[in-house]
Structure 1
Amino acid sequence: MEAEVTILKLKDTLIVPVQVELHDNAAKALQEKILMSIEKENAQGLIIDISGIFIVDSFLGRILAETAKMAKLIGAKVVLTGMRKEV
């Protein structure tokens, strides 16, 4: 069963509160879902909150960085928030 992450919309900004640990397939699926939502909603901003994630491995870190770069390429300003100092 894939971890479900809800994408919220506030005006022209998408908010993605990640409150579950993401394995590789779930991270890739979330990346695709976020990018499709930006295009569909014509979002100008993206906030990804990872305060609910305790472990960010190299794969997840790369997926988050790629997602931010791709979102910028399609016109969204990106903020990554909630990173723990342990991460």
Structure 2
Amino acid sequence: MAGGWSKDGAVQDQIDASVEDAVSLARSRLPHGESLAHCEECGGEIPQARREAVPGVRLCVACQAERDKRQGAAAGYNRRGSKDSQLR
């Protein structure tokens, strides 16, 4: 059911766009290439099991956990069509 100027399925389109954005962001953050033997940040050794489990790994577990904390969680909804996002 559409309302006003929106077309039928507009809400679902926003939900789909939010999911696609989240998947794209997650894929862009995946490591790629050759795994390192030593952490880029602290220089500590990266265990062989981690290098095999995560191809292209660049950080040890502790440094990766710290980086993940700093990045925080993404917004829970799509703001592209939100009136509030246009006011900022």
Q: Name the structure where strand makes up a greater proportion of residues.
A: 1
User: Which structure ranks higher in relative contact order (CA pairs < 8 Å, sequence separation ≥ 6)?
Assistant: 1
Q: Which of 1 and 2 has greater Rg?
A: 2
The alignment's TM-score, normalised by the length of structure 2, stands at 0.30
